[in-house]
Amino acid sequence: MNYRSPLLNVMTGAALKAAKGLIRDFGELEQLQVSKKGPADFVSRADHKSESVLRSELKKARPAYGLLMEESGERAGTDTSNRWVIDPLDGTTNFLHGIPHFSISIGLERDGEPYAGVIYSPIADEMFVAERGGGAFLNGRRLRVSGRRNVEEALFATGIPFLGLGDHGLFLKQLGAVMAVCTGVRRYGSAALDLAWVAAGRFDGFWENGLHPWDITAGIVLVREAGGFVSDLSGGRKMFSGGGVLASNAALHEPLVALVGSAARAPATAP
């Protein structure tokens, strides 16, 4: 078991340090309705603070690695094999609304492939970790994806596109196809945690169109190390080039690809 490997220690240490600031800021949000610039500006500062803590902690421990960060973009490293892929606050809308479901996601890409992942949910104090070949763990307990085999018993998660972003018509068709045949569909608002929860067997599968590398790199390692499958929405490998992400267990991965894919081919419903 390597859930306490030196690499994962570095990653969890950085996540815990950045989380302290997020927890403090989350607690202060209530006071902010009166502030001049308003809560959105405050949250964006919390986000940037978290990213700068993560950047300096990870740089200190592995000075040569490159970085890809949601807020400050890409910084090449002298070690061209290793790159951190970071979302300092995933679930920003939840955070802004005082909903305690948000996370810090730190992925490590090695030679272009997801290699290690840490996703931390500060308010729940749940630390999800995985390193290739070493298994996936939640607070030190080994994780397995769910064992459900039938779509009718499955609980899936997704992400809903919103104002000004994404293909709303396509998503509604995907949702229509999936919701008609399964136990339920959830939209919790942190894609990183959605993937971690698939790894933990809480969700039987997850799909979302058009996510970014920082939303998914850590989660991909978690799902795979927990025995699950991750692909783009057509079952291929284009998760990092606009293909969307679909994750599930061995039995439900193909059926979910078929359902989501059938939506892409379905004609629009009459108004």
Q: Check binding of 232 to Ca ion (CB under 5 A).
A: no
CB of residue 186 vs ligand IPD: minimum separation in angstroms?
A: 11
138 or 211: whose CB is closer to ligand IPD?
211
C-alpha to C-alpha distance for 9 and 186, rounded to whole angstroms: 32
CB of residue 73 vs ligand IPD: minimum separation in angstroms?
A: 15
List the one residue out of 185, 208, 178, 180 whose CA is nearest residue 195: 208
61 or 123: whose CB is closer to ligand IPD?
123
Of ligand IPD, Ca ion, none, which one sits near residue 159, judging by CB under 5 to 8 A according to partner kind?
ligand IPD
Q: Check binding of 225 to Ca ion (CB under 5 A).
A: no
CB of residue 190 vs ligand IPD: minimum separation in angstroms?
A: 5
Q: Tell which one of 51, 57, 90, 225 touches Ca ion (CB under 5 A).
A: 90
CB of residue 43 vs Ca ion: minimum separation in angstroms?
A: 10
Of Ca ion, ligand IPD, none, which one sits near residue 108, judging by CB under 5 to 8 A according to partner kind?
none
C-alpha to C-alpha distance for 236 and 246, rounded to whole angstroms: 10
Q: Check binding of 215 to Ca ion (CB under 5 A).
A: yes
Record the tokens describing residue 209, joined without a space: 């169109």
Q: Tell which one of 87, 194, 208, 225 touches Ca ion (CB under 5 A).
A: 87
CB of residue 81 vs ligand IPD: minimum separation in angstroms?
A: 26
- Contacts with 27 (C-beta within 8 Å, 6 or more apart), sequence order: none
CB of residue 92 vs ligand IPD: minimum separation in angstroms?
A: 4
91 or 117: whose CB is closer to ligand IPD?
91
Which stretches of the chain bind ligand IPD, using CB under 6 A?
87, 90-92, 159, 189-191, 208, 211, 215
105 or 248: whose CB is closer to ligand IPD?
105
List contacts with Ca ion (CB under 5 A). 70, 87, 89-90, 215
